[in-house]
Amino acid sequence: MSSLSLTILGSSAAVPANGRFPSSHYVAIQNRHFLIDCGEGTQMQLTRFNIPIQKINYILISHLHGDHYLGLMGLLFSMHLQKRQAELHLFGPPGLNEIILLQLKYSKSVLNYPLHFHAFDPTARTVIMEDAAVTVETIPLIHKLPCAGFLLKEKTKPRRIDKSRLSKEVLLQHIVQLKAGHDVMNDSGELLFKNEEYTLPPHRSLSYAYCSDTAYNESMIEQLREVNLLYHEATFMEIDMEKAIETKHSTSRQAALIARACQAEQLVLGHFSARYRDLDLLLAEASVIFQQTSLAVEGETIQINE
């Protein structure tokens, strides 16, 4: 059983290359649907992989380099043309709202649906979205522009009813109380059903971290401690370390070092430079450090089991 899944839409750095599209991820967690970054061609990828664009509730933009947001306006307009009415929440660094409003102004367009823009400070660790089941935190990264990753986490799930213990005396309202972790009492205050006797521990809460563009960044290790699924950019190989330093990107080996240090369950590498056609070389470099490593392959969906 899974309550968190990741579909890779784009895995290329800077430009579309070698059949790969710029950065974009689709994450479903607890029936909330997130699009993380929206590089050129994202809506084409959503269509290609049969992901309905109207399911998306939240869009998170890490920073204002074009390969992370240039697909956004096309997607917003397509939602409009398809008569979307549900509200959409867009999170991004300051300035993104000006980019959108300027294009709406000069195209004389008014969207059919409410678009709520939420600006955040990319340099600070902040909870930018929270509801009854999920939180989203920013992860301050090290890049040429202010840039933030995102940590999506499930809150503690309700306890599970032990169906083998149920009887006709346990009513629906009793089950609600038991799942909430309470003992069930009668009107006189007498114990009817003790919680621990009728429930099982909750399924584990899952987490996903998206670290888009960053130099090697030990400061985020504690925030990412024991994350279930870590996506970390791996723009270069170690042989091109000078280029990584110059552009404030990471190597595949550095991504693996971060995964090992934070005790991640799985590592996914992405944001590959166009200079590499054979990505297995990057995978091999990282796997020496952190065995549970895979490549971001467009169209693949990774599910994390509870």
Tens-place pLDDT, residues 138-169: 999 999 999 999 999 999 988 877 777 777 77
Please tell me the total count of domains within the chain: 2
Same domain, yes or no: 195 and 279: no
80: burial class by Cβ within 10 Å (0-12, 13-18, 19+)?
A: middle
Task: Look up the CATH number of the domain holding residue 29.
Answer: 3.60.15.10
| pLDDT at residue 124 is higher than 90 | yes
Q: Does residue 149 sit in the same domain as residue 266?
A: yes
214 and 193 in a single domain? The answer is no
171 and 230 housed in the same domain: no
In this structure, the answer to whether residues 66 and 178 fall within a common structural domain is no
Rounded to an integer, what distance in angstroms lies between the CA atom of residue 302 and that of residue 306? 13
Q: Say yes or no: 28 and 177 in one domain.
A: no
Do 139 and 167 fall into the same domain? Answer: no
The reply to whether 67 belongs to the active site is yes
- Are both 109 and 167 inside the same structural domain? no
* Per-residue pLDDT reduced to its tens digit, 68-108: 999 999 999 999 999 999 999 999 999 999 999 999 999 99
Report which of residues 174 and 255 the model is more confident about: 255
Q: Which of the following is catalytic: 37, 67, 183, 187?
A: 67
- Last residue of one domain, picked from the residues 168, 200, 232: 200
Q: Kindly report the three-state secondary structure assignment for every residue of the chain.
A: CEEEEEEEEECECCCCECCECECEEEEEECCEEEEECCCCCHHHHHHHCCCCHHHCCEEECCCCCHHHCCCHHHHHHHHHHCCCCCCEEEEECCCHHHHHHHHHHHCCCCCCCCEEEEECCCCCCCEEEECCCEEEEEEECCCCCCCEEEEEEECCCCCEECHHHCCCCCCHHHHHHHHCCCCEECCCCCEEECHHHHEECCCCCCEEEEECCCCCCHHHCCCCCCCCEEEEECCECHHHHHHHHHHCCCEHHHHHHHHHHCCCCEEEEECECCCCCCCHHHHHHHHCCCCCEEECCCCCEEEEEC
Q: What is the pLDDT of residues 29-80, one digit of tens each?
A: 999 999 999 999 999 999 999 999 999 999 999 999 999 999 999 999 999 9
Q: What six digits make up the tokens of 115? A: 């678009």
pTM summary value: 0.91
Q: Are residues 143 and 112 in the same domain?
A: yes
Same domain, 129 and 171: no
Do 192 and 64 fall into the same domain?
no
Q: Domain check: are 263 and 287 in the same one?
A: yes
Domain membership of residue 43 as a residue range? 2-157+203-305
Determine the pLDDT at residue 181. 80
Tokens of 32: 């909330």
